[in-house]
């Protein structure tokens, strides 16, 4: 990683005194040198002893581990990020396996549910439906004018928790933390945004401390006009920025992706990122079983935008193996709230029609598994415990090694636990989940379940887009990201039941994905800069390091 560059070009541009201490992008706290303290007007404002960043890290890690609950740990980290971003990212990067479940799933879900109560300092930008006509002016209020990545949500489908309105801001904040910690995106060049169009969550509307608009959600043409204005204003204000859509509801997620993807540098992580990381896990499973994805039958429990995003990514990968698109889709089945998606049902939407099969209507999940006899079961339903013991045992009856991906999160929404999947199949299941699970001991073998965490994918894709200044983000980029990730799973990982590499490798994973993604941008002529002489060095030099800058 490269040495952190100050966003201020000249020493004279730096704030002085308490102003620099209150700027988390510039603050080093007790690590300011004696000379810096003298020149920057800090003498007397800090204790006299100068600490190294390593010494500071020991202090904050001890305080972190002393917190009694995961939510307390989340609040502590948020406060650290608000006062010293360097130290925050030093801690996150060095202790990524311990910190990831706190700064993102599953703890971020609880943090969003409690957001109004734990809100301390403003972070990011809130745009409400009352701001129509003035979005560009609002964006101009942001202190930094050169941005690389924006993560935006309208808060309607926060993880598997549903409509949390403006309290969903915890998601863009958390995602951008991962962009920096896992992908090396400079935190000074990121911006979390919540578009508050109201909420249909009655509990929030009745909550005295709720921070968002107290109205039902804006729908229809007025909603679309607001999002249109937002997209135009963002790209005018920040011309090279990547825009990641996050946790939009099914009725808007796919529709907005198709509307904007050919005109803006944008993607939807719930659709494309989830599709890519799931595909990577399946490719790892194919390596373990020494078989091919094109030969598998896949059943999705859940038929929302994430499910279809995964399915379409799988279809494209199957087509690379020689299957036609029609044949590939015939390998995939869906169960929605009414049961197995079949052709005889009325009022199927366009996506469901593509995957409808010629079976009799059947609303019973277990019966549907018996009819379809899938080798792969993927849960994206948001319904905790949906994968029951009879269901998992049936998967084990028809498959020597059933592949069970329970991807809903947070943990309470997971379709089954790792322990259940392994126990109910006698340790034969190949398991992955959306939220982390502890290792499971079955007789004399210990299994280490993998987490299909989108953080394996979107930071690297984002870094590749930033380096190449790609004007568009394509599905091909997510497929190559999946291939790259799967190839970094070692034989040792596979033998332990891990379908994903250790999180300790995530910065290197992002680096390699970024190179592949940037190459696609250059090869497809969608990059807005010439191909650099040494792309690998350019990617490495772009990556943020939490090492303190030397101001003087």
pLDDT digits (tens, 9 = 90+) for 313-343: 999 999 999 999 999 999 999 999 999 999 9
pLDDT at 293 over 70: yes
pLDDT at 545 over 60: yes
| Mean pLDDT of the region 362-391 | 94
Report the CATH number that the domain containing residue 167 is assigned in CATH: 3.40.50.10380
- Give the closest residue to 526 by CA, choosing from 472, 474, 480, 479: 472
Domain end: 264, 293, 325, which one?
264
Active site residue 175: yes
Domain end: 390, 423, 453, which one?
453
Active site residue 104: yes
CA distances from residue 404 to 32, 37, 324, 515 in whole angstroms, order as listed: 51, 57, 26, 31
Report the CATH number that the domain containing residue 441 is assigned in CATH: 3.40.50.720
Residues 216 and 323 in one domain: no
Residue 328 located in a structural domain = yes
Residues 259 and 276 in one domain: no
Residues 113 and 62 in one domain: yes
Residue 339 located in a structural domain = yes
Quickly state the pLDDT bin for 10 (edges 50, 70, 90).
low
pLDDT at 301 over 70: yes
Q: pLDDT at position 11, please? A: 75
Residue 239 located in a structural domain = yes
Residues 312 and 430 in one domain: yes
pLDDT at 350 over 70: yes
CA distances from residue 399 to 30, 289, 394, 501, 549 in whole angstroms, order as listed: 59, 12, 9, 25, 56
Neighbours of 155 (CB within 10 A): 32
Residues 219 and 349 in one domain: no
HEC string for 411-430: HHHCCCCHHHHHHCCCCCCE
pLDDT at 362 over 90: no
Residues 369 and 448 in one domain: yes
Quickly state the pLDDT bin for 200 (edges 50, 70, 90).
very high
pLDDT at 5 over 50: no
Percent of the chain with pLDDT strictly greater than 90: 92
- Bridge-based pairing of strands 190-196 and 266-268 is unpaired
| pLDDT tens column, 419-460 | 999 999 999 999 999 989 999 999 889 999 999 999 999 999
Residue 528 located in a structural domain = no
- For the entire predicted model, the pTM comes to 0.95
Asked whether the beta carbons of 515 and 526 are under 8 A apart, the reply is no
| pLDDT tens column, 236-245 | 999 999 999 9
Q: pLDDT at position 361, please? A: 80
Residues 295 and 179 in one domain: no
Residue 487 located in a structural domain = no
The count of domains in the chain is 2
Can you name the residues that pair with 191 across neighbouring β-strands?
A: 150
- Bridge-based pairing of strands 266-268 and 242-245 is parallel
Domain end: 431, 453, 475, which one?
453
DSSP string covering 366-389, please? HHHHHHH--SEEEE-S--TT-S-H
- The set of long-range contacts for 4-10, using a CB threshold of 8 Å and a minimum separation of 24, is 4/86, 4/186, 4/544, 4/545, 4/546, 4/547, 4/548, 4/549, 5/186, 5/549, 6/549, 6/551, 7/144, 7/188
| pLDDT tens column, 15-67 | 999 999 999 999 999 999 999 999 999 999 999 999 999 999 999 999 999 99
Residues 300 and 393 in one domain: yes
> Which of the following is catalytic: 104, 422, 456, 500?
104
The Cα 307–Cα 415 span in angstroms is 14
Q: pLDDT at position 4, please? A: 44
Quickly state the pLDDT bin for 480 (edges 50, 70, 90).
very high
| pLDDT tens column, 496-509 | 999 999 999 999 99
The rounded mean pLDDT for the chain is 95
Query: Phi and psi at residue 524, in whole multiples of 5°?
Result: -90, 5
Residues 250 and 292 in one domain: no
pLDDT at 2 over 70: no
Q: Give the sheet arrangement for strand 149-153, strand by strand.
A: 125-128, 190-196, 149-153, 242-245, 266-268
Cβ partners under 8 Å of residue 428, min gap 6: 396, 400, 401, 402
Domain hosting residue 364, numbered range: 272-453
> Which of the following is catalytic: 28, 73, 175, 254?
175
Residues 198 and 180 in one domain: yes
Q: In the chain, what is the straight-line distance between the N-terminal and C-terminal CA atoms, in Å? A: 21
Residues 346 and 259 in one domain: no
Length of the chain: 552
């Amino acid at each position: 990683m490269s040495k952190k560059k100050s966003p201020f070009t000249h020493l004279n541009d730096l704030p002085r005194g308490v102003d620099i201490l209150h700027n988390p992008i510039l603050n080093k706290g007790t690590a300011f040198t004696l000379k810096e303290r003298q020149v920057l007007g800090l003498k007397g404002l800090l204790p006299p002893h100068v600490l190294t960043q390593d010494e500071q890290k020991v202090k904050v890690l001890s305080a972190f581990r002393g917190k009694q609950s995961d939510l307390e740990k989340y609040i502590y980290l948020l406060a650290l990020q608000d006062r010293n971003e360097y130290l925050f990212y030093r801690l996150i990067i060095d202790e990524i396996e311990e910190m990831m479940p706190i700064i993102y799933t599953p703890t971020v879900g609880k943090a969003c549910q409690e957001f109004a109560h734990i809100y301390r300092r403003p972070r990011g930008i809130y745009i409400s439906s009352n701001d129509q006509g003035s979005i560009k002016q609002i964006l101009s209020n942001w202190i930094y004018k050169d941005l690389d990545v924006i993560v935006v949500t309208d808060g309607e489908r926060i993880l598997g928790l549903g409509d949390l309105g403006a309290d969903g801001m915890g998601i863009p904040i958390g995602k951008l933390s991962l962009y920096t910690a896992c992908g090396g995106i400079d935190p000074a060049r990121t911006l979390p945004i919540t578009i508050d169009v109201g909420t249909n969550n009655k509990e929030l509307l009745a909550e005295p401390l709720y921070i968002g608009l107290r109205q039902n959600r804006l729908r229809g043409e007025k909603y679309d006009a607001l999002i249109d204005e937002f997209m135009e204003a963002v790209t005018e204000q920040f011309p090279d920025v990547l825009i990641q859509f996050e946790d939009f509801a099914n009725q808007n997620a796919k529709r907005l992706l198709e509307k904007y993807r050919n005109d803006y540098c944008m993607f939807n992580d719930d659709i494309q990122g989830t599709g890519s990381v799931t595909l990577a896990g399946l490719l790892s499973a194919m390596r373990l079983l020494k078989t091919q994805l094109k030969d598998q039958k896949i059943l999705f429990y859940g038929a929302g935008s994430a499910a279809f995003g995964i399915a379409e990514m799988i279809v494209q990968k199957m087509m690379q193996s020689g299957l036609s698109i029609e044949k590939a889709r015939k390998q995939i089945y869906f169960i929605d709230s009414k049961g197995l998606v079949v052709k005889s049902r009325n009022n199927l939407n366009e996506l469901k029609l593509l995957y409808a099969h010629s079976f009799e209507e059947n609303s019973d999940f277990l019966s549907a598994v018996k009819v379809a006899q899938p080798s792969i079961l993927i849960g994206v339903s948001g319904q905790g415990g949906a994968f029951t013991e009879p269901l998992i045992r049936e998967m084990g009856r028809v498959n020597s090694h059933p592949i069970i991906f329970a991807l809903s999160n947070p943990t309470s929404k997971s379709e089954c636990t790792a322990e259940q999947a392994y126990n109910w199949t006698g340790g034969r299941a190949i398991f992955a989940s959306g939220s982390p699970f502890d290792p499971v001991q079955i007789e004399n073998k210990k299994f280490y379940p993998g987490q299909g965490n989108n953080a394996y994918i979107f930071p690297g894709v984002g870094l590749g887009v930033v380096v190449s200044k790609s004007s568009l983000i394509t599905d091909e980029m997510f497929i190559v990201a999946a291939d790259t990730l799967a190839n970094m799973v070692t034989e040792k990982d596979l033998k332990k039941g891990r379908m994903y590499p250790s999180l300790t490798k995530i910065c290197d994973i992002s680096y390699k994905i970024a190179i592949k993604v940037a190459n696609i941008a250059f090869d497809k002529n969608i990059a807005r800069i010439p191909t650099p002489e040494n792309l690998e060095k350019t990617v490495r030099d772009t990556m943020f390091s939490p090492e303190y800058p030397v101001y003087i």
